[in-house]
C-alpha cells in the first residue's frame, strides 16, 4: 500500500510539473508572436473598388496572353498526322458499345491418374520426412525438459500422421486407377 501512495504522489508532482512547463511554453510563444507580413490588417475597401481591381487584373492577364501568342501563330488544337497506305482509321466511339469478345481460354492438360499418383507419392515422401524431423525435435525437447515445445510438437505430429494415413489411402486408390488407365490405353 505504501508503494502505491509513493507512486501516486510522484505521478501527481510529475503531472503538475509537466502542466507548468506547457503553460510556460505557451506563454513564451504568445509573447514572441509576430504577425507575418501577409497577415497585416488590410483597410476595408468598398465592393466597387474590389470589383474594379479584379476586372483590371483580368484584362491585363488577357492582354499579356494576347501579346505572347498572336492568333495567327496559335498552335493547333491537336497534332494531325496524314494517314499512310495500309493504316486503318480508328472506329468512332459509340455510346454503350457491345461487350468485347475475349480469346478462348486454353484447356488444361489432362491430369491422368498416373500424374496424380506421382504427385501424391511425392507429397507423401516429403510429409514422411517432415514427420521424422518432428520426432527428432520432440525427443530433443523432451531431453531438455521443454514441456510446452513437446506438447506443440505432439500436436504437429498427430496432424501430420493423420495426413499421411489419408495420403496412403489415396495412393492405393490412385494406383488402382492408374493400372486401369494403363489397361485401357493398350
pLDDT at 105: 82
Q: Is residue 7 part of a domain?
A: no
Q: Cell 486408390: give the residue.
A: 173
97 inside domain: no
User: What is the pLDDT at residue 39?
Assistant: 47
Q: What is the pLDDT of residue 177?
A: 92
Q: How much is the pLDDT for 76?
A: 61
Question: Quick one: cell of 29?
Answer: 510563444
Q: Residue 121: what pLDDT? A: 95
> For residue 170, is it within any domain?
yes
Residue 138 belongs to domain spanning: 113-185
Q: What is the pLDDT along the chain (186 residues), one digit of tens a residue?
A: 667 778 788 888 888 888 898 888 888 777 777 766 554 445 555 677 777 777 787 777 766 665 555 556 666 677 878 888 888 888 788 888 778 888 888 777 778 888 899 999 999 999 999 999 999 999 999 999 999 999 999 999 999 999 999 999 999 999 999 999 888 887
Answer whether 156's CB lies under 8 Å from 134's CB.
yes
Identify the pLDDT of residue 160: 96
Please indicate, yes or no, if residue 28 is contained in any of the structural domains.
Answer: no
What is the distance between the alpha carbons of residues 119 and 48, in angstroms, rounded to a whole number? Answer: 87
How many structural domains is the chain composed of? 1
Residue 123 counted as domain residue:
yes
Q: What is the pLDDT of residue 172?
A: 95
The set of residues, in sequence order, having a beta carbon less than 8 Å from that of 89 and lying 6+ positions away, is 83
Q: Is residue 152 part of a domain?
A: yes
Q: How far is CA 96 from CA 5, 93, 99, 100, 111, in A?
A: 77, 9, 9, 12, 42
pLDDT at 66: 58
Q: How far is residue 20's CA from residue 12's CA, in Å, rounded to a whole number?
A: 12
The answer to the question of residue 134 being in a domain is: yes
The whole-number pLDDT of residue 35 equals: 64
122 belongs to a structural domain: yes
Amino acid at each position: 500500500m505504501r508503494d502505491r501512495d509513493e507512486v501516486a504522489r510522484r505521478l501527481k508532482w510529475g503531472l503538475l510539473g509537466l502542466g507548468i512547463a506547457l503553460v510556460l511554453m505557451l506563454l513564451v510563444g504568445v509573447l514572441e508572436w509576430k504577425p507575418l507580413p501577409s497577415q497585416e490588417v488590410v483597410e476595408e475597401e468598398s465592393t466597387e473598388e474590389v470589383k474594379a481591381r479584379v476586372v483590371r487584373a483580368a484584362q491585363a492577364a488577357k492582354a499579356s496572353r494576347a501579346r505572347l501568342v498572336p492568333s495567327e501563330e496559335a498552335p493547333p488544337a491537336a497534332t494531325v498526322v496524314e494517314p499512310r497506305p495500309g493504316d486503318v482509321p480508328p472506329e468512332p466511339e459509340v455510346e454503350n458499345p457491345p461487350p468485347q469478345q475475349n480469346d478462348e481460354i486454353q484447356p488444361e492438360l489432362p491430369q491422368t491418374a498416373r500424374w496424380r499418383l506421382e504427385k501424391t507419392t511425392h507429397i507423401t515422401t516429403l510429409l514422411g520426412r517432415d514427420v521424422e524431423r518432428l520426432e527428432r525435435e520432440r525427443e530433443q525437447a523432451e531431453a531438455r525438459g521443454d514441456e510446452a515445445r513437446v506438447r506443440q510438437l505432439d500436436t504437429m505430429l498427430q496432424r501430420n500422421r493423420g495426413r499421411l494415413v489419408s495420403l496412403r489411402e489415396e495412393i492405393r486408390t490412385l494406383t488402382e486407377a492408374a493400372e486401369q488407365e494403363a489397361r485401357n490405353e493398350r
